[in-house]
Amino acid sequence: MVREEVACLITVFSENEESYLFHTPNVRLVRLQAEAMGLPLVETGTAGIKEEELEDLGRALDIAKERYGIDGVVTGAILSVYQAARIQRLCQERSLWCFNPLWHTDQETYLRALCGQGYDVLISGVFSAPFDESWLGRRIDAGAIKDLKQYASRYRITLTGEGGEYETFVADAPFFSRRIEIVTAEKEYENYRGIFRITGARLVEK
């Protein structure tokens, strides 16, 4: 089977923690993830102003195209038409392919697959009811999936947090050569909104 080559990662650092498009909690730590994957990282910043922030992502795509000769982009969009359509347009303008291999995937199957395939995923932010402070830093395991399913049926959150109900941080993955150890972290929480802010982390042997 022919497989695609992953050339680099792309991250946009938003100054606006309420960014419409970009993930913000602990996003600086993508540098450690890139190192664990042995991949170069293209980084750009944005003020995080709605629609204008697209131009900053476009700038990152231009850099990746010039520096690493990318032919296309792969996103992790599952349900968000807002995100998917905007990234599709940016790619189309640059003659880049755009793939969303998780598009409309079965969310429970996806979460269970992560748990069973060696991913270590932590909740790094919560942004809706009924998430309380105990979720900050919680590992997504069978127990967490059970609770998330209850929330999904009772409070109509999306199981994978695709609606921005929660955000995650990947500390280990099957394709990481080393895992990320969280040394220090702080929790900020108030009124169903909170951040698990990782203040110290390092790569360690698995």
Partner 1 sequence: MILLVDLSYREHSLGYEEFVLPIARIVHGQGEIVSTLHYARDPGKGAAGCDGVVLCGTPLRDNAFLSQREAFAWLAATELPVLGICAGMQALSLTFGGEVFPSTGIGMTDIRVTARDPLLPAVAAFPAYELHGNACTVPPGFLTLAESDRCVQVIRHQHRPVYGVLFHPEVRNEWVVERFLSSFCR
Q: Give the pair of three-digit tokens for residue 106.
A: 């079965």
Residue 106 interacts with partner 1 (CB under 8 A): yes or no = yes
Secondary structure of 163-177 in HEC code, one letter for each residue:
CCCEEEEEEECCCCC
Nearest CB to partner 1, comparing residues 103 and 175: 103
Residue 97 interacts with partner 1 (CB under 8 A): yes or no = yes
Residue 101 interacts with partner 1 (CB under 8 A): yes or no = yes
Sheet holding 193-204, edge to edge: 166-172, 120-126, 193-204, 179-190
Q: Among 33, 100, 107, 160, which residue interacts with partner 1 (rule: CB under 8 A)? A: 100
Cα angle 180, 68, 87; round to 5: 80
Residue 6 interacts with partner 1 (CB under 8 A): yes or no = no
Residue 199 interacts with partner 1 (CB under 8 A): yes or no = no
Nearest CB to partner 1, comparing residues 15 and 71: 71
Q: Among 104, 116, 117, 191, which residue interacts with partner 1 (rule: CB under 8 A)? A: 104
Backbone phi, then psi, for 177, in 5-degree steps?
Answer: -75, -30
Secondary structure of 93-132 in HEC code, one letter for each residue:
HCCCEEECCCCCCCHHHHHHHHHHCCCEEEEEEECCCCCC
- Which residues does 25 contact at the CB level (< 8 Å), separation at least 6? 17, 124, 125, 167, 169, 195, 196, 197
Residue 69 interacts with partner 1 (CB under 8 A): yes or no = no
- What mask of x and - would describe binding to partner 1 in positions 117 to 156, judged by CB under 8 A? ----------------------------------------
Q: Among 9, 63, 74, 203, which residue interacts with partner 1 (rule: CB under 8 A)? A: 74
Nearest CB to partner 1, comparing residues 16 and 88: 88
The contact set with partner 1 (CB under 8 A) reads: 1-2, 4, 72, 74, 81, 85, 88-89, 91-92, 95-106
